[in-house]
């Protein structure tokens, strides 16, 4: 007990002192002079710098999107290098100084980014020990590391002294041995998040708070239709406003610039653009006909064994079902924001981009500059949950700054974010399945209709598109993932039909594709369990050999007090209760998660309330258990919102759900309880946790609604209208 208390106090102390470090970090990022350093991901010095004051700077290409990654990466460095948490500063996503570790997405920050950093630190530690051994003239085995020093008995030397002459310019040694998990004292502990004290007191500097001397404020003015042409601009009234600076027009890109933020907002309201009439969007009421009617550019099997078509043909009782999943917006609470400056042909752009290296490439491409003429610097913004409008705001800012030759801040308004962030695309899925004589699933056939995926990942910058400047093709993310299913079924084919068009610029939103595909997979498995007259959780276990997957399901059964029975529950009265289960092994190669959702359905109003979600989660080695819990809770609650409420609405010209009234999200009175059972496997690789739980939530809720009411909802969101319609159909 004493140890635990002492270590918690140390952590709190560390967190407190790091707040100080944190407040100067953006200033450090602001500095123009940066000594040249290597950026390669297979070098120690790419990631780690030991400074003369014996503090450590971590240069991380992975960024903290409000998920606690910064704290977790700091823990990894503290653990491997044996330095106090308070001695570590983190520079994130600065293209001049941080390695390109790929975009911060896909639940890969720890699994991939963190492991590159761990290996670099293990290499550094071995080198420091070797140098210290030479200095002490003792064998390496007798040198220990502690508190940023190498020790031999009572003698010690700081890391700073060991790198003073030679530096730490090393290739990462893939054979350098990281510490054994049993020796961990920092990793695996619930270290308090380093950013929270500043965030709850107004000290934290978000992207939206960043200011430069002489900076102007801009607002963008978006077209009246997605692809409407800008025919004319009357900015007479805007020009009369105090502090007005300029109207910036590049093709269909339009912005106003003013001395003050409010001045820019007023100018954006006063300007009178004339847009061409454009009505190229499908009818919202016939969206799924539109998707089904869209040309397929390519079909590919993502899972194939046996001959499901032949088995299905012989089965008179084969089941068929079609599922659909609405268009979603990211819904960041803070609309996107960026600051850009041009100086001597050099562009610097501060952005909350999850992918500053990719953004730099895209900005250079758009402006026809060499990549080294563009520097992108990450500053944390509002949570983005994928590729929201952050990068688009960055492109807006560089375009406006180029025109006015002064630093410019672009802040999107709420309607810009809801209307113009790239969207989670509409997803349509067809399923066929059959039971064998043994009551197990004999054949499984699934097909998903989703936007095509160009060779290069990256979402078109809106400004480049509007201004008709060079840009890559739009990529919706790896939304084919999650259709391949995790169960032992002899005959399976899962096919992705890539569609040549999708109504809106598409991008990834938390668990992209995996959420939609798992919704259909796990709903359909439930439908087969129902047809087989089996308990849905036992039915899953009957088709699963993987011991880690089985353990997740068994533990979620225990956690939720699951008693086996066949659905539906057959309660009577207006408000009926039900429970539903869902399971996935993320992308079939990593994190296991099983969930039980409990719902109440009001049969009179059609309202669904998710009262409680139970999650069993196995992501291998846990770096920070409290951070993990925070992520899982967030995954559950955010996805309950997406499942029950969310749907982008539009007319033939543009998005019409432009605020929180027309695109409602879950509120406090509706938030479910969340219980968790975290399965820690210290000797296994650490896998991601930012997405997997989200993937299983919609199906668990739909399965619970079926359990409660006996009706099957195959369309997200599960709105009261759809529930009532389904109930009416059956009665």
Interface residues with other proteins (CB under 8 A)? 16, 19, 65-68, 192-193, 195-206, 208-209, 241-243, 260-263, 266, 331-335, 380-383, 385, 411, 413-414, 626, 630-631, 633-639, 641, 659-661, 665-669, 671, 673-674
- At its nearest, how many Å lie between other proteins and the CB of residue 657? 13
235 or 633: whose CB is closer to other proteins?
Answer: 633
Nearer to other proteins, 374 or 701 (CB): 701
How far CA 429 is from CA of 65, 449, 483, 590, in Å, comes to: 31, 6, 10, 24
Beta bridge partners of 432: 320, 445
Q: Which residues contact 644 (CB under 8 A, 6 or more apart)?
A: 608, 610, 666, 670, 701, 717, 718, 719
Distances (CA, A) of 235 to 244, 245, 257, 269, 368: 10, 11, 12, 10, 29
Residue nearer to other proteins on the CB measure, 66 or 692:
66
Is residue 515 helix, strand or coil? Answer: helix
Residues 6 or more apart whose CB falls under 8 angstroms from that of 423 comprise 327, 328, 329, 504, 505, 506, 507, 509, 648
CA nearest neighbour of 644 among 656, 652, 636: 636
Least distance (Å) between residue 217 CB and other proteins: 8
The least distance separating other proteins from the CB of residue 206, rounded to whole angstroms, comes to: 7
- The CA distance from 396 to 229, in Å, is 18
Residue 166: other Cβ atoms inside 10 A: 10
- For 677, how many CA atoms within 13 A lie in the half-sphere containing its CB? 19
Q: Is residue 341 exposed (0-12), middle (13-18) or buried (19+ Cβ within 10 Å)? A: buried
Pick 229 or 240: Cβ nearer other proteins? 240
Shorter beta-carbon distance to other proteins: residue 17 or 322 = 17
Report the alpha-carbon distance of residue 302 to residue 447 in Å, rounded. 10
Shortest distance (Å) from residue 416 CB to other proteins: 11
Tell me how far, at minimum, the Cβ of 660 lies from other proteins, in Å: 4
Is the Cβ of residue 86 or residue 495 nearer to other proteins in the bound state?
86
Shortest approach of other proteins to residue 66 CB, angstroms? 3
- The H or E element that residue 149 is part of is strand 149-152
DSSP letter string, 81-127: HT--GGGEEEEESBTTTS-----S-TT-IIIIIIHHHHHHHHHHHHH
Which 3 state secondary structure label does DSSP give 553?
Answer: helix
Nearer to other proteins, 411 or 502 (CB): 411
Q: 517 or 631, CB closer to other proteins?
A: 631
Max CA separation in the chain (angstroms): 87
Residue 636 Cβ vs other proteins, minimum distance, rounded to whole Å: 7
670 versus 684: smaller Cβ distance to other proteins: 670
CB of 19 to other proteins, least distance (A): 5
CB of 578 to other proteins, least distance (A): 22
């Amino acid at each position: 007990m004493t140890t635990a208390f002492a270590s918690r106090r140390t952590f709190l102390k560390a967190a407190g002192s790091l707040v100080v470090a944190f407040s100067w970090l953006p200033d450090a990022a602001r500095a123009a002079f940066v000594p040249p350093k290597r950026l390669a991901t297979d070098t120690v010095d790419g990631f780690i710098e030991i400074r003369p004051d014996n503090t450590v700077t971590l240069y991380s290409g992975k960024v903290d999107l409000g998920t606690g990654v910064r704290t977790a990466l700091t823990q990894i460095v503290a653990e491997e290098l044996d330095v106090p948490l308070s001695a570590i500063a983190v520079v994130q996503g600065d293209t001049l100084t941080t390695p390109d570790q790929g975009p911060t997405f896909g639940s890969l920050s720890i699994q991939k980014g963190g492991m590159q950093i761990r290996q670099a630190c293990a290499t550094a530690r071995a080198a420091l020990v070797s140098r210290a051994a030479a200095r002490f003239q003792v064998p390496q085995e007798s040198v220990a590391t502690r508190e940023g020093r190498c020790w031999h008995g009572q003698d010690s030397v700081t890391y700073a002294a060991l790198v003073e002459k030679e530096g730490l310019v090393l290739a990462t040694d893939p054979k350098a041995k990281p510490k054994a998990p049993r020796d961990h004292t920092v990793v695996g502990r619930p270290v308090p998040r380093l950013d929270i004290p500043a965030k709850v007191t107004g000290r934290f500097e978000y992207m939206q708070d960043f200011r430069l001397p002489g900076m102007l404020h801009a607002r963008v003015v978006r077209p009246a239709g997605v692809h409407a042409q800008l025919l004319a601009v009357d900015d007479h009234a805007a020009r009369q406003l105090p502090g007005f600076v300029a109207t910036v027009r590049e093709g269909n890109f339009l912005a106003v610039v003013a001395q003050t933020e409010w001045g820019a907002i007023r100018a954006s309201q006063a300007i009178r653009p004339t847009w061409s009439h454009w009505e190229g969007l499908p009818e919202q009421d016939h969206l799924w006909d539109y998707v089904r009617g869209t040309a397929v550019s390519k079909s590919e099997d993502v899972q194939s064994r046996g001959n499901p078509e032949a088995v299905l043909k012989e089965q008179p009782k084969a089941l068929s079902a079609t599922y659909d999943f609405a268009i979603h917006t990211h819904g960041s609470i803070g609309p996107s924001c960026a600051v850009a400056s041009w100086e001597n042909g050099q562009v610097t752009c501060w952005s909350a981009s999850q992918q500053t290296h990719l953004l730099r490439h895209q900005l250079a491409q758009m402006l026809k500059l060499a990549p080294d003429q563009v520097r992108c610097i990450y500053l944390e913004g509002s949570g983005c949950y994928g590729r929201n409008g952050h990068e688009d705001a960055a492109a807006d800012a560089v375009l406006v700054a180029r025109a006015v030759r002064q630093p410019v801040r672009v802040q999107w308004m709420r309607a810009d974010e809801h209307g113009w962030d790239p969207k989670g695309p509409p997803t349509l899925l067809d399923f066929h399945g059959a039971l064998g004589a043994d009551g197990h699933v004999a054949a499984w056939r699934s097909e998903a209709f989703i936007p095509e995926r160009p060779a290069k990942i990256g979402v078109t910058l809106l400004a480049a598109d509007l201004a008709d400047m060079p840009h890559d093709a739009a990529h919706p993310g790896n939304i084919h993932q999650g259709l391949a299913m995790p169960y032992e079924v002899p005959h399976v084919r899962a096919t992705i039909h890539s569609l040549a068009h999708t109504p809106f610029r598409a991008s990834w939103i938390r668990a992209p594709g995996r959420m939609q595909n798992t919704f259909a997979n796990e709903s359909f498995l439930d439908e087969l369990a129902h047809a087989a007259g089996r308990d849905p959780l036992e039915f899953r276990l009957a088709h699963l050999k993987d011991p880690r997957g089985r353990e997740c399901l068994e533990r979620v059964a225990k956690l939720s007090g699951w008693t086996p029975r066949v659905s539906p529950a057959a309660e009577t009265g207006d408000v009926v209760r039900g429970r539903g289960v869902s399971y996935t092994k993320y992308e079939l190669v990593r994190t296991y998660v099983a969930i039980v959702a409990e719902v109440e359905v009001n049969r009179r109003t059609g309202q669904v309330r998710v009262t409680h979600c139970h999650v069993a989660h196995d992501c291998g080695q846990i770096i920070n258990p409290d951070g993990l819990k925070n992520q899982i809770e967030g995954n559950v609650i955010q996805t309950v919102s997406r499942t029950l409420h969310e749907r982008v609405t539009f007319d033939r010209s543009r998005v019409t759900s432009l605020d929180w009234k027309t695109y409602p999200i879950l509120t406090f009175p509706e938030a479910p309880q969340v219980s968790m059972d975290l399965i820690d496997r210290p000797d296994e690789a650490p896998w991601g946790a930012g997405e997997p739980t989200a993937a299983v939530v919609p199906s668990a809720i739909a399965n619970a609604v079926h359990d409660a009411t006996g009706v099957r909802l195959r369309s997200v969101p599960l709105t009261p209208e759809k529930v009532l319609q389904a109930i009416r159909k059956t009665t």
